[in-house]
Amino acid sequence: MKKRTAVFHIDTLMNKYKDSNYDFNKYNNKFHVDLIKIKDSDVQIIFFAVFAKENYLPAGNGLKETIQMIDDFHQLINRTKELEIATDYNDIKRIQKDGKVAAFLAIEGAKSVFDVSALRNFHRLGVSLISLTWNHKNHLAYGINEFKSDGLTKTGKKFIKEMNSLNIIIDVSHLNPAGFWDVSKLSRYPIVATHSNAKSICDHPRNLTDHQITAIADTDGIVGINFCPSFLTDQKNATIKDVFNHIDYIKELVGVEYVGLGTDYDGISKTPEGLEHIGKLNKLQQMMEDKGYSEQEIEAISFDNMERVLKRSLA
């Protein structure tokens, strides 16, 4: 089976820096995402993440790298007729009507977003989603690697208000628990964890407790399942069944409406067996059908849940 699909997090913008001959429009066995594979899975909404490396000061090389990768995103779209940049919900409908893929721009870790003026300018450049941290502390919050009781900084709390005002989606992946709870209290819009899993199944620091998953559902947000094997299982290797197990757990915990597909493709070095690249997402849909999921449930997880969040957040 093949259903239309939405993916909340890919790191494909980094591929050109790993292979000087990389061409997004051509099939490439070295990477998880390219245009051919996207079409194979009928991906209709996808978020491209900008990730600047951690070893910089906010106004230093990281800012330059972030600006460069935003330009890379725009250049990639300009060279790809089947994708079009989207910044709001109305764009999705228009782009779908034209038979194209709606491509959104995200920033993973906001070190380069040094103040609210920068935030507004990144929004003008097309950024629709931001995760406040990567794994370490910045001027907004503590990352998951720092087990602090402190949450958002004063600047971070100011950012939440401004992000709500600008209709920028807040991604809580990578935040430490205290920061997560600050966001859940302050945000007026759905919050999302674009690439995180259920801690009750796999006790990885980046995964979410039942309490956190419930809090995300309470905001009408969603959890996008991460395909990184170490987030899926404590075994050496992961399979497509492990991905299904996290989906099924969240479905049973809070409802089918609050889980989607994050993947983290091109940002992870290993993938689950059976989901080696984005072109195989239909295999996961088939597994859900084989496990007794209804067509409506599969469509919700694959596409409708994300569309609902985008309608509420980006209208």
pLDDT, block means (10 residues), the chain with 315 residues: 91 96 96 98 98 60 90 97 97 96 97 95 98 92 84 97 98 96 97 98 97 98 98 96 98 98 98 98 98 98 98 94
Q: How many domains does the chain have?
A: 1
pLDDT attached to residue 126: 98
Helices (H), the chain: 35-40, 61-78, 89-97, 116-124, 154-166, 177-186, 210-218, 229-232, 240-254, 281-290, 295-299, 305-314
Q: Residue 143's beta-bridge partner residues?
A: 175
pLDDT attached to residue 60: 55
Structural domain of 134: 5-314
Determine the Cα–Cα distance for residues 247 and 162; give it in Å rounded to an integer: 32
Neighbouring residues of 54: CB distance < 8 A, sequence distance ≥ 6: 109, 111, 134, 135, 136
pLDDT attached to residue 125: 97
Q: What is the CATH number of the domain that holds 63?
A: 3.20.20.140
63-85 CB burial, b ≥16 within 10 A, e <16 = bebbbebbebbeebbeebeebbb
Determine the Cα–Cα distance for residues 9 and 33; give it in Å rounded to an integer: 11
Q: Are 116 and 157 in contact (CB under 8 A)?
A: no
Q: Which pTM value belongs to this model?
A: 0.96
Determine the Cα–Cα distance for residues 266 and 278; give it in Å rounded to an integer: 10
Neighbouring residues of 65: CB distance < 8 A, sequence distance ≥ 6: 52, 53, 56, 112
Determine the Cα–Cα distance for residues 109 and 103; give it in Å rounded to an integer: 19
Determine the Cα–Cα distance for residues 42 and 280; give it in Å rounded to an integer: 10
**Nearest Cα residue to 107 out of 169, 17, 192, 34:** 169
Three-class DSSP category at 302 = helix
